[in-house]
Structure 1
Amino acid sequence: MAADYVPPVQKGFGQLVDSIFLLVLVYCSLLAPLLLKTPDKPPEAETAKAHVTWKELGQNPAMEAQWRKLGYDAQQAKPIITSRFDYQIEPVSLIVTALVIVGYFVFVLRVSEKQYRQVIAEKFGETS
């Protein structure tokens, strides 16, 4: 009768290294867009213009109250309210992201296939 299969056990140090490595990868992936962002135009040009009212910015009294709770007056809030979000896709970033995802997927498949074959060989005594 064949012995029961006992899977290999990863040591605590290996688990610690794996966890730290994954945390570093997550941290770097979240920090990268901030480091790669190009600086916006300085706001001095807009603050030098005439006084702005909340009504000119299209804000009702409830919105104005919320802005004031955040510590903004109409002049400080103007660049935030009037700026548009940039939804442009950067081809280089998109390609790098796709390559990293595909590369990781291929890596996981290769390692999983190797481990799967080892388990089958240990369990059933087959080699392939």
Structure 2
Amino acid sequence: MTTDYVPPVQKGFGQLVDSVFLLLLVYCSLLAPLLLKAPDKPPEAQTAKTQVSWRELGQNPAMEAQWRKLGYDAEQAKPIITTRFDYQIEPVSLIVTALVIVGYFGFVLRVSDRQYRQVIAEKFGE
């Protein structure tokens, strides 16, 4: 006589804990690079305020018009135009993120293996 297999059901509280844990891991992995980033250098002191022109900033008349539509003058736009985005990869952040992902993958693999073996044992008996 064979009985139908009924898999164990995870309770709602367990699902909530799993969801919150995953959300926390994602949040921490996204926040960690910001927390580990070196503080920005203080702005350079300007002894004499010089007038900046759009031409010095490499902006043509069409670009200037767009900046003005956004409410910027040349002085206000200068830090935005002259500051370049930093696309450098930070090794510590990369390693921490990789370790979190690999660790979680290993955890899921071990738990899945254990559950798979349990199902096989229940279904076919050892």
**Which category of TM-score, normalised to the shorter sequence, fits these structures?**
0.7 to 0.9
**Contact 1:5/1:123 (8 A) holds in 2:** yes
Closer/same/farther in 2, CA of residues 30 and 104 from structure 1, 3 Å limit: same
With the length of structure 1 as denominator, give the TM-score of the two structures. Answer: 0.78
The runs of 5 or more residues in structure 2 that have no matched partner are none
* Cα-Cα RMSD: 2.4
Partner deviation per Cα, 1:63-93 (whole Å, 9 max, x = no partner): 3344334443221221221122223222222
Closer/same/farther in 2, CA of residues 62 and 31 from structure 1, 3 Å limit: farther
Considering Cα pairs closer than 8 Å and 6+ residues apart, tell me whether 1 or 2 has the greater RCO: 2
AA aligned opposite 2:115: Q
Q: How many residues align?
A: 126
Percent of aligned positions with the same letter in both sequences? 88
Closer/same/farther in 2, CA of residues 68 and 38 from structure 1, 3 Å limit: farther
AA aligned opposite 1:31: L
Matched residues in 1 for 2:53 and 2:111: separation? Answer: 62
Q: Runs of at least 4 residues of structure 1 off by over 6 A? A: none
With the length of structure 2 as denominator, give the TM-score of the two structures. Answer: 0.79
The runs of 5 or more residues in structure 1 that have no matched partner are none
2:103 corresponds to 1:109 = no
